[in-house]
Amino acid sequence: MRGGRAGDVGGGGARPYRAGFACFVGRPNAGKSTLTNAIVGTKIAITSNKPQTTRHVIRAVLHRPESQLVLVDTPGLHRPRTLLGERLNDLVRSTWSEVDVIGLCIPADEPVGRGDRFITGELAELKATVLAVVTKTDLVDKKRLAEQLLAVSELGEFAAVVPVSAVSGHQLDTLVDVMTGYLPESPQLYPDDMLTDDPEQVLVAELIREAALEGVRDELPHSIAVVVEEMIPEGNLMKIYADVYVERPSQKAIVIGHRASRLKEVGTTARRQIEELLGTRVYLDLHVRVAKDWQRDPKQLRKLGF
Ligand SMILES: Nc1nc2c(ncn2[C@@H]2O[C@H](COP(=O)(O)OP(=O)(O)OP(=O)(O)O)[C@@H](O)[C@H]2O)c(=O)[nH]1
Ligand SMILES: [Mg+2]
């Protein structure tokens, strides 16, 4: 996916050109994907207030005159209860071994917990530089933030502790500067205008899943998966055919809603987002299908792209 913004040519100045990979890690719902989007200034990763929203590794590239920072958005690390959960955790750990910088995200408005200590311990084993990022600072007052910064700095050995808010934009530039400082000297990794190297079909499927997550509760968010079957350009219109999978017939009824009212809403919301992403008009055709207990079934998981 390429963006419209003009890139700068690296090198030339006194400072060396730096380029490399970074990722945010942390428990589900810590704000990793929102932070990734806020830093690159484009919505590439989907977000929601449900834990375990992210399921794919998404790369977002931030271009600066003297650097290129590739942010790899990963799922939240959690105690897996399904085969899908195990696969997601594997994905997270394999990303850790490939990046130069890791930002451990801990929300300002929640106490530091056992999960954070566990992740900190695992990160200590890696060669990457590890920073702590205290997220969602807009949700707390100064006193609470100071206490949280102290608690986080006592959690482990971090190269830096940076408080940020993806919502207000507070300290985002500082965080980028700090992370970039730990990248290796390297030639440019991606072309000037490239925002992500993820296939359009994956980004589109994610936007549909994000819309489908809106307003559903309990176990249902985890049961939803989306596959884009076809994208057919017709003039300046893109025709998109996608399947929304759930695990049980009862869930299918909820996703579709009374007289298909919910599904229509999901379609409208997703279509707007996809039009923004692709820059064309979109016709979106959604089908809801049942893939029984897909989160636990290796064959179904493969079919759904995991
Ligand atoms: N107020 C506030 N809310 C935020 C901020 N960053 C994220 N959120 C909210 O926190 C929730 C979770 O954000 P995500 O970015 O989806 O969290 P995540 O860490 O990617 O979650 P998983 O993908 O499930 O691991 C969403 O409802 C966001 O809107 C922030 O800086 N301020
Ligand atoms: Mg996420």
Question: Domains of the chain by range and CATH?
Answer: 18-181 (3.40.50.300), 200-303 (3.30.300.20)
Say if residues 93 and 65 touch (Cβ distance below 8 Å): no
> Which H or E run includes 284?
strand 281-290
Q: Which of 218, 295, 287 is nearest to 55 (CA)?
A: 295
Q: Is the pLDDT of residue 4 over 50?
A: no
Strands 225-234 and 237-246: antiparallel
What spacing in Å lies between the alpha carbon of 15 and ligand 2's midpoint?
A: 33
> pLDDT-based confidence at 170, cuts 50/70/90?
very high
Strands 161-163 and 129-135: parallel
- pLDDT given at position 69: 97
Residue nearest ligand 1's atom 9 by CA: 31
Ligand with the closest atom to the CA of 50: 1
- pLDDT given at position 79: 87
Residue nearest ligand 1's atom 4 by CA: 136
What spacing in Å lies between the alpha carbon of 47 and ligand 2's midpoint?
A: 6
Percent above pLDDT 90 for the chain:
80
**pTM of the prediction?**
0.89
Q: pLDDT (tens digit, 9 = 90+) per residue, 200-255?
A: 999 999 999 999 999 888 889 999 999 999 999 999 999 999 999 999 999 999 99
Residue nearest ligand 1's atom 3 by CA: 136
Residue nearest ligand 1's atom 7 by CA: 31
Q: pLDDT (tens digit, 9 = 90+) per residue, 253-279?
A: 999 999 999 999 999 999 999 999 999
b/e burial code for range 101-126 (CB count within 10 A of at least 16 → b): bbbbbbbbebebeebbeebbeebeee
Residue numbering of the annotated binding site: 26-33, 73-77, 135-138
What spacing in Å lies between the alpha carbon of 25 and ligand 2's midpoint?
A: 9
Q: Is the pLDDT of residue 10 over 60?
A: no
> Which H or E run includes 290?
strand 281-290
Name the average pLDDT for the chain.
92
